[in-house]
Amino acid sequence: MSSLLKKDVAWDWRPEHQDAFEAVKKSLASAPVLMLPNTSRPFHVVCDASNFAIGCAVMQFDDEGCERVVSYQSRQMKLAERNYPIHDKELLAMRYALIKFRVYLLGEQTFAVYTDASLRTVIKRPHLSQRMARWLSFFAEYNFVVHYKPGKINILADTLSRRPDYDPRRLTRYQGAPDNDDGDEDCAVCMELGINPTVLSPVLPLRQRITDAYDDDAFYAGIIRYLRDPTADALATLTRPTRDTITRYDLDGDLLTYAIDTIDTPRVIPADDGLRARLVHEYHDPPAGGHLGREKTFATISRDFFWPRMYKWIRKWVRSCGGCQRVKPAASKQAPLRPLPVATSAWRSISMDFIFGLPRDAHGRTGILVFVDRFSKMVHLAPVAAEVIADASAELFLDLVFQHGLPESIVSDRDPRFTSAFWTRLVALLGTRLLMSTAAHPETDGQKERVNRVLEDVLHSYATSFPSWSSFLPMAEFALNNATHASTGLAPFFVNNARHPRVPALIAVRRSDPPAVSTLGGGGRAPTPQSVQSSSDPPSDELHQETAAKVHVVEGHALRGVAAPATPPSRHALCA
């Protein structure tokens, strides 16, 4: 409704305005119970600012020591205020809080204001802007102390300043993004990243989009000119740091590549935020991406593409992804009870488990049978019915695991489905040993429990995008197997096949002419016989170090505060 109150705006009362008006009346009639202010106790204020709104709250501790809210406040920024620098926006939020809560705070001996870290020293600067100088006289009326409160725990004020209904540009992340009903596509993500959501064109192919962006980037355009005409004059136009690293750059047709090492030569992406958003979306948001975390997303994108400060860019994208924030729980540190012996080769030892409680699909299936190779961390998934029996489990085991050879050992829990007479007889005929978890301590097989949690997060991320979860299962399996694993530093697909799989973005930037030499890889380089041999005998020592660094057991009690793990081995060790 506030849009109708702007200057020179015609009055046009629409159904959405009526709905907003009814919502206001309903909120006034059923407001949440707030704490009555107690003047004998100190107040404290939390405030925050985003790119389009400010929010704040005044709070007190009750008799039980719990933090309670006395009053909330928030509003949209005016057009001029949206152009303020970040320090002034945070200062604007603090000023707004002091104005709104003046009746509580004026005359208080000392109260705390929790806000951005930069405001602790901003008023002590030797040179103040005219705006800050005007506001200092207002702040002088109050006796307060500014404390820094990180955004991840300043949830209340952060939420108030990022209300979706305050966002003036509620568009999708960019043109050409797939349409869906998911709120993840709101433009708040673009604003946090400083991305113009209208800069991308769905018409241009990705390769042409990259080459056109080179012309608008003076830095990379100069490098391309030198590589096409390596003269002394062209080299002199480059900066000194660029000249020192010019040997790392090369041309792949009309695309610029950057040699990080002797193996990886990813394509260089110019300074085009819209183009970078398109690539990150392609690797992170679609079903084959799996909405995985920043580390796995960065490792996957960096195989094929490169731009400066890419990790920070991807970290900000993942941190602001609405789907990830909704479905992924906060991680808690918990050491395993007892580590299982580290596997020494791929598919020699596997773990398996069921996930049940899923919605019934068209075939009446409500569970997933999960197979995990304990060495490469590769995952195979199969939908199953709730009343699955040992016969069906055995058939799925042979269909999915036998293609890799028969394992020597199987790690399972004490589920009746695994301990049935038929299952025990089957594994005996296959020559396997059924390793059982320690009673009442499922942490023994923590690897498969962790896989189950990641799989459930991935399924939650796309719950509304598919008619049933079982139709999405192959893409979830691909996303997990294409992601770099923390303990090995390698993707399970690479450990098993000595190459990375082809993904849509990589195919979109391929050259139109066929390569001169056929390779086994996804458009990269052919693995040598040594690399193929190495892929079946990877870093067992590093896995032992990783396990040893995480395990601390004292009289059967798992210690909290796990020691820092050893540095994971580089995937390039496989091709050494």
Q: What is the pLDDT of residues 40-99, one digit of tens each?
A: 889 999 998 988 899 999 999 888 888 889 998 999 998 888 888 888 888 899 899 999
Q: Pick the residue with more confidence: 510 or 203?
A: 510
Whole-angstrom distance, CA of residue 83 vs CA of residue 149: 24
Q: Let me know how many helices (H) and strands (E) the chain has, helices first.
A: 23, 16
Residue 181 reports pLDDT greater than 50: no
**Size (the chain), residues:** 576
Whole-angstrom distance, CA of residue 406 vs CA of residue 431: 9
State the pLDDT confidence band at 189, using cuts at 50, 70 and 90. very low
How high is the pLDDT of residue 99? Answer: 92
Closest-CA residue to 412 (of 371, 472, 361, 359): 371
User: Which residues, in sequence order, are CB contacts of 403 under 8 Å at separation 6+?
Assistant: none
265: its two tokens: 């030569």
Q: Pick the residue with more confidence: 50 or 507?
A: 50
Across the range 119-133, mean pLDDT stands at 72
State the pLDDT confidence band at 210, using cuts at 50, 70 and 90. confident
> Where is 53: in which H helix or E strand?
strand 53-61
Burial readout 190-199 (b: 16 or more C-beta within 10 A, e: otherwise): bbebebebee
89: its two tokens: 């926006």
Across the range 521-525, mean pLDDT stands at 45
Confirm whether 32-165 and 169-327 share one CATH topology.
Answer: no
Residue 117 reports pLDDT greater than 90: no
Q: How far from chain centre, in Å, is Cα 41?
A: 41
Segments of 77-210 assigned E as strands: 111-115, 144-148
Q: Of 119-128, 188-197, 351-360, which range is least confident?
A: 188-197
How high is the pLDDT of residue 58? Answer: 92
pLDDT digits (tens, 9 = 90+) for 439-453: 334 445 566 667 777
Percent of the chain at pLDDT exceeding 70:
68
Q: For the chain, how are helix, strand and coil distributed in percent, rounded to 5?
A: 40, 15, 45
State the pLDDT confidence band at 172, using cuts at 50, 70 and 90. very low
pLDDT digits (tens, 9 = 90+) for 245-288: 888 888 888 888 888 776 678 889 988 888 888 888 888 888 77
Whole-angstrom distance, CA of residue 288 vs CA of residue 285: 8
How high is the pLDDT of residue 433? Answer: 64
> Is the Cα torsion angle 566, 572, 574, 576 positive or negative in sign?
negative
Whole-angstrom distance, CA of residue 84 vs CA of residue 89: 6
Q: For the domain 169-327, what is the CATH code?
A: 1.10.340.70
Closest-CA residue to 296 (of 568, 489, 502): 489
- With H, G, I as helix, E, B as strand and everything else as coil, classify residue 70: strand
How high is the pLDDT of residue 370? Answer: 86
CA angle 356, 472, 416 (to 5 degrees): 20
How high is the pLDDT of residue 536? Answer: 44
Determine how β-strand 255-258 pairs with β-strand 249-252: antiparallel
64: its two tokens: 């039980």
Across the range 305-327, mean pLDDT stands at 82
Burial readout 117-141 (b: 16 or more C-beta within 10 A, e: otherwise): eebeebeeeeeeeeebeebeeebee
Average pLDDT in the chain: 74
Domain range list for the chain: 32-165, 169-327, 485-576
Residue 557 reports pLDDT greater than 90: no
Q: What is the DSSP letter of 253?
A: T
How high is the pLDDT of residue 121? Answer: 66
330: its two tokens: 């906060």
Model-level pTM? 0.49
Residue 560 reports pLDDT greater than 60: no
Q: How far from chain centre, in Å, is Cα 308?
A: 19
Whole-angstrom distance, CA of residue 463 vs CA of residue 473: 11
Residue 23 reports pLDDT greater than 60: yes
Burial of 331 (0-12, 13-18, 19+ CB in 10 A): exposed
Burial of 175 (0-12, 13-18, 19+ CB in 10 A): middle
Top mean pLDDT of 79-93, 160-174, 501-515 is at 79-93
Residue 563 reports pLDDT greater than 80: no
Residue whose token pair is 């303020």? 84
How high is the pLDDT of residue 85? Answer: 85
Architecture of domain 32-165: 2-Layer Sandwich (3.30)
pLDDT digits (tens, 9 = 90+) for 224-238: 888 888 888 888 888
Return the half-sphere exposure (C-beta side, CA atoms, 13 A cut-off) of residue 467: 4
How high is the pLDDT of residue 54? Answer: 92
Q: What phi and psi values does residue 269 have, to the nearest 5 degrees?
A: -105, 125
Whole-angstrom distance, CA of residue 24 vs CA of residue 34: 17
> Is the Cα torsion angle 315, 321, 325, 328 positive or negative in sign?
negative
> What are the angstrom distances between the C-alpha of 410 and each of 130, 348, 480, 493?
71, 9, 21, 21
Across the range 299-303, mean pLDDT stands at 86
Closest-CA residue to 276 (of 328, 217, 323): 217
